[in-house]
Amino acid sequence: MIRTVLTRAAGYGTPAVFTAEHPGSARGYRGGETGYPFRLAMTAEIRGGLGVSSELDRLYRDIITGVGEDPGREGLQDTPQRAARAMQYLTRGYRQTVEEVVNNAIFESDNDEMILVKDIELYSLCEHHLLPFIGKCHVAYIPTGRVIGLSKVARIVDMFARRLQIQENLTKQIADTLMAAIRPAGVGVIIEAQHLCMMMRGVEKQNSMMTTSMMLGSFRDHDRTRSEFLKLVRN
């Protein structure tokens, strides 16, 4: 049983704290069911229990054997260890928290115009097939007295992307987290990505692109704000 502690900001007021328990899961994000925003405070079971282990090495060795290969041959002797390290890197978002990623890089500002970070490279793993999806993320917000460090927007994207994901949830998690971190007037997030799970298997459609969006606050409520965001992204 892994315990996660989530904080839910009640509107723009004081965060309410609650604990959720879910067996066999190490997902670093369990929000979204009741609106935004959610933040994760990882417990020691998650943060300390996901190091590279001999158990993960063994499982990769079993996979190699299961597909009909010999894990003892020269080219595959160290593959289980390498694959385990690679998987740990590709899922390192489970071992990060919003607090660590943002690192207090929130600053006072009297700017109240839209701030947009475009074309953030994004690499994630489809939680259904463990195959990559690759694309770019556009994040915009309208500050209300506070702005966040530029690199922290990209780090938030990476933190959630480096987990087993579906693009729909990833888009919402990024938007919810930014909304919680600086409480802006609104947040807009768009992700455009290609999914290898439908490019190299299944329907094998090589030119397909999936686009998802999440609009919160003024981006959802005001057509002009949303239109400005979409125009800036397209340009």
Active centre residues (catalytic): 126-129, 167, 195, 197
Residue type, 230: L
Tokens 């959610």, residue located: 38
- CA dist., res. 87 & res. 19, Å (int): 28
- CA dist., res. 128 & res. 78, Å (int): 27
The torsion defined by the Cα of 149, 151, 156 and 162, in degrees rounded to 10, comes to -170
Tokens 């965060």, residue located: 15
Query: Which residue in 194, 175, 192, 173 sits closest to 96, CA to CA?
Result: 173
Measured at the CA of 219, the angle between CA 217 and CA 224, to 5 degrees, comes to 135
| Structure token digits, residue 209 | 């692109």
| Structure token digits, residue 175 | 């938007």
